[in-house]
Amino acid sequence: MPAGSVVSFQGELGAFSQEACRKIFGPKIKLLPCPTFEDAFVAVVSKKAALAVIPIENSLAGSIHQNFDLLSRYSLEAVAETQVRIEHNLIAHPECEARSVDKIYSHPVALAQCEKFLRRMKSAEKVAFSDTAGSVRHIRDHGLKTAAAIASAEAARIYGMKILRSGIEDSRENYTRFLALARNGRFPRGGEKTSIVFSLTNEPGALFKALSVFALRNINLTKIESRPIHGKPWEYFFYVDLQSDIRSRECVNAIRHLQERMKYFRILGSYSTY
């Protein structure tokens, strides 16, 4: 990754996506925060960014479906993967005291992931916000002294706010997987993992037959996700992650075998984990 390459992500500076950008690409990239996931995709399509880093799955909340749908709509290629442990913090203005907090802002998923902690903060109203780091910035921008936000420690640092309580998430087993996406063909394909998407003909055993091309070659599936095909009720796109390198003969053969029988097929990428 050349120094100074622009990487887009959804959220404000301090978002968990930013940590994912740093894990994959190190400190020398330029960050482009975007209001929505689609904006982060469009930044790459329109060449404002070389890459986008988007969350694809959380170990508690599950797949982030909107991003699977965007993977289908924009034909970008997955070029890297990482995972980030999600540690939530209660963050407030430096002059705020914990007992005076009467409002807590954060993304609804973050609020849900801190439910046990928040139940003890009975008197504080929970307010949904578009973004975790954005909720910290909101507190800073408006100088709110009786409100708190839930976000990363990095967000507290960036916006000069203080951490009232750290590690307030219900479960420590809280990880988010991120993919880095680039325009097709900009990076050589290959790595420990390969992601594909396909749709099936409507016949008994269709999914079984599709998976057989991998099972017969001992290729492990780490994830399967189905998403509805718009305009075709109860038909699905299947997104599958394989522990296999597209440069290997088994993977190439399995995919050739799969393509023989699929209505629709696309390789989303073959990449390494950082």
Residue type at position 106: S
37 assigned to active site: no
Nearer to a copy of itself, 102 or 173 (CB): 173
Nearer to a copy of itself, 183 or 209 (CB): 209
Question: Phi and psi for 130 in degrees, rounded to 5?
Answer: -65, -20
Q: Is 139 helix (H, G, I), strand (E, B) or coil?
A: helix
Q: Please return the burial class of 146, using the count of CB atoms within 10 Å of its CB with bins 0-12, 13-18 and 19+.
A: middle
Place of tokens 């060449």: 47
Contacts of 141 (CB under 8 A, 6+ apart): none
Nearer to a copy of itself, 71 or 91 (CB): 71
Nearer to a copy of itself, 100 or 171 (CB): 171
CB of 118 to a copy of itself, least distance (A): 16
CB of 25 to a copy of itself, least distance (A): 23
Nearer to a copy of itself, 5 or 243 (CB): 243
CB of 59 to a copy of itself, least distance (A): 4
176 assigned to active site: yes
Interacting residues toward a copy of itself by CB under 8 A? 57-62, 65, 171, 173, 175, 204-205, 207-209, 211-212, 214-215, 218-228, 230-234, 236
CB of 61 to a copy of itself, least distance (A): 7
Question: CA–CA separation, 11 vs 178, rounded Å?
Answer: 14
Question: CA–CA separation, 55 vs 57, rounded Å?
Answer: 6
Active-site option among 37, 129, 178, 238:
178
What separation in angstroms does the CA of 240 have from each of 62, 64, 151, 255? 15, 14, 31, 12
Place of tokens 């992500």: 9
Rounded to 5°, angle at Cα 5 from 154 and 273: 65
| Token reading at 216 | 């017969």
Active-site option among 9, 25, 129, 176:
176
CB of 228 to a copy of itself, least distance (A): 5
Q: Active-site residue numbers?
A: 176, 178
